[in-house]
Amino acid sequence: MEASPLTQQSRPETFQPKIVQLYEILFRITDYADPSEGFWREFFLLPPSRAQLQQILGELTSDEVLSLQSQTRQLFARAIREAASEVSPNDLHALETLTTFLGGILTKRYTNPSSDIIAILAGINEVDRVISDLVTVLDRIIRNGRNLELRLKAIRTVIAMASGAYRTSLISYFTHRDLFPSLMKFIHDSDTHLHVLEPFLLLGLLANYNKFELRNPYQQRLDDFVNEATIQRIVSGTGLSCAALRNGYVAVQDDVPEGWTLTSTLIFFGLRALAPGTRDKSAAPSTEEAKEMFAELPAPEAAILLAAYDFTNANKLFGYNLVTQPAETRNEESPFSSFLSLTSYLLHHAYRSVRVAQYAELNLFTVRILVEDPVLCKRICAEEGKRAVRLCRQRQPFLPLVQGERVLATVIFDILIDSISHNLRRRLDINLYCHTIAILLRLFTYLSSNKTRLSYHWSELWRTLLTLIRFLSTYASDLSSHSQINVLTTSLVNLIAFSLSAGDTFLPDPSSYDDLFYKIVETGPVITKFRDAYKLSSNSASAPEGARPAVKETTSNVPAIDTLIAVCTHFQTLLFQEESANGGEVNGNGKTSSNGDSGPSSTTVIPANLKKNLSPRKVHQIIKQGYDTLSIQAHEDLSRWERWREADWKTELKKVARGAVEDARRLGL
């Protein structure tokens, strides 16, 4: 019997997929030969291995990638051709390969990004044709692809291209060919709200490209869009994304308040894990572990907040649906509840990083736009608009827990109070605090002009505002050089002065109004120190140099600080008189005197021993009686504010857009 010509080979330790072998052949730096037609057919017939392709591309330096121009151009051109072929599964594999390839190539640092990337993808002579073909193919697939899976893959390819080439001229090809109709058609055709995230996120990236320098067609599209059914689908998808992003924080530290029963706050299907790892409740992270995990949040999907802001700013119909759209089922949150809940968590953690602070500020922009709309503000302040909103309780101090549905304005009050309380530090985020005070003023002026009285823990709000004054007074030497500090200090004083002059129109009862005066009088010494530290007076209340027009209302010639000092002086005089009538007069230094000294001067403050000699109840009685002799001059300027103008915050919005682009890149990896 003849011996078999077959020989047994040793079994390899690991099996390497054939597609990985093809990757290694394609990106071989030496001994490279142009692939045959059979190579490319096999390449796109085999399922791609995204992880292995990412690894291979990740190991290449930018200079090595430039040296592989022949391979990269061939792969890019062939992938576009296969994506356009409408042959399954080649077109699907081509889109996945393109997404991974672009994510790995475009994120590297090049000496000359635009020219280098053009050289890698197509070459200067062919770039216009090749990139135009890419955009045309992707647009066609997004609009009319044979199934939603293929269309979604095309959207992810556009995200990889747009986020990777955002600082190059290549992104302009996506503005020359308008993808908006295709993206809206995809959202309209999708069978689940979970498919809203990526097309809406992409829309935010495209709408922000050079929008302050050139005419951006996507901005106009947002403004003109009136298909309410599609808008409602986008709003629902945005709400789901916000809830999932919020749940990333809950996964690190479960702060669920007792009695919270909305099951959907903990369960969302279809979105990838948004928290850094699944964790058993019994294995709570240590303080350091939690700190590291919080530092990674929010997840990259937070880039959708940029699109939510743009749509709210451009389209009143979107803003109306965002505020008014109810939950789809009884056990779910409404989209606006999820948005406000995420805003609460972002503001609680805004001090952790610039990235978190930027997203928190962006959401405050959105809230400000909404409350400046009279129709929406009415809804936010009305009983008919009540919603249950889960607010962050991961750090003390805690506000009183209010369960069940609430008037949305009171929810926003809580979010703003928490924002003030949890971000106090020497390197204060002045802009964040300016937005907080601005939103409060807009809500207060609406409540006052419409005589809308809200039940709320007002005492906590007054205490927080006066704590901010105390903090600013204490660290005046650290903060006084900030370009926007005058905007913050004058707007804060104006808000408190407005509350004193108009509080009886929106506070629920006289005792709440009395409590405001009590706290103002009690804080008299700090208010005087605050005035002196920041040189606030009616003579110096003109707009500070460099103040943005958007906040003019906080820096007009309003002697608000004089109003606060006058109120303190009035009631201090009555307190001195009461003390004198009880057998001893107290002078401005807190020392008992038996002579006939007159009452306190305009700069006199409440001596500490008055608190001992007069009970809080007695002080309240004196304040209540003192209204008859108190005269507060109404200043119309206190209730004036300028409407939102996006151009005034151009710098901040550009920074947020860059951050959203980076997050979109992370999504593609």
Count of residues in the chain: 669
Residue 659 has pLDDT above 60, yes or no: yes
Q: Which of the two residues, 434 and 269, has the higher pLDDT score?
A: 434
Tell me the DSSP string of 84-135. Answer: TT--TTHHHHHHHHHHHHHHHHHTS--SSHHHHHHHHHT-TTTHHHHHHHHH
Report the pLDDT value the prediction gives residue 168, as an integer from 0 to 100. 87
Interval 405-463: pLDDT, tens: 999 999 999 999 999 999 999 889 999 999 999 999 999 999 999 999 999 999 999 99
Average pLDDT estimate for 643-654: 93
The CA-atom distances, in angstroms, between 411 and each of 248, 423, 455, 476 are 21, 19, 12, 31
3-state DSSP assignment of residue 123: coil
Selection from 356, 376, 375 nearest residue 366 by Cα: 376
Q: Which of the two residues, 592 and 117, has the higher pLDDT score?
A: 117
Average pLDDT estimate for 98-126: 92
Report the pLDDT value the prediction gives residue 283, as an integer from 0 to 100. 66
Interval 620-630: pLDDT, tens: 666 666 665 66
Question: By percentage, how much of the chain surpasses pLDDT 90?
Answer: 59
**Predicted confidence band at 191 (pLDDT cuts at 50, 70, 90)?**
confident
Evaluate whether 648 touches 549 at the Cβ level (below 8 Å): yes
- The three-point CA angle 643-311-235 to 5° equals 120
Average pLDDT estimate for 471-489: 90
Q: State how far the Cα of 142 lies from the Cα of 144, in Å rounded to an integer.
A: 6
Interval 366-411: pLDDT, tens: 999 999 999 999 999 999 989 999 999 998 889 999 988 999 999 9
Cβ atoms within 10 Å, residue 575: 25
Locus of tokens 């803003």: 319
586, containing H or E segment? strand 585-586
Report the pLDDT value the prediction gives residue 255, as an integer from 0 to 100. 81
Report the pLDDT value the prediction gives residue 14, as an integer from 0 to 100. 63
Q: What is the mean pLDDT of the chain?
A: 84
Interval 208-220: pLDDT, tens: 999 998 888 999 9
Q: What is the CA radius of gyration of the chain?
A: 31
51, containing H or E segment? helix 50-58
Report the pLDDT value the prediction gives residue 628, as an integer from 0 to 100. 58
Evaluate whether 289 touches 303 at the Cβ level (below 8 Å): no
Report the pLDDT value the prediction gives residue 617, as an integer from 0 to 100. 66
Interval 62-79: pLDDT, tens: 999 999 999 999 999 999
**Predicted confidence band at 669 (pLDDT cuts at 50, 70, 90)?**
low
* Residue 535 backbone zone (phi > 0: left; psi -120 to 50: alpha; other: beta): left
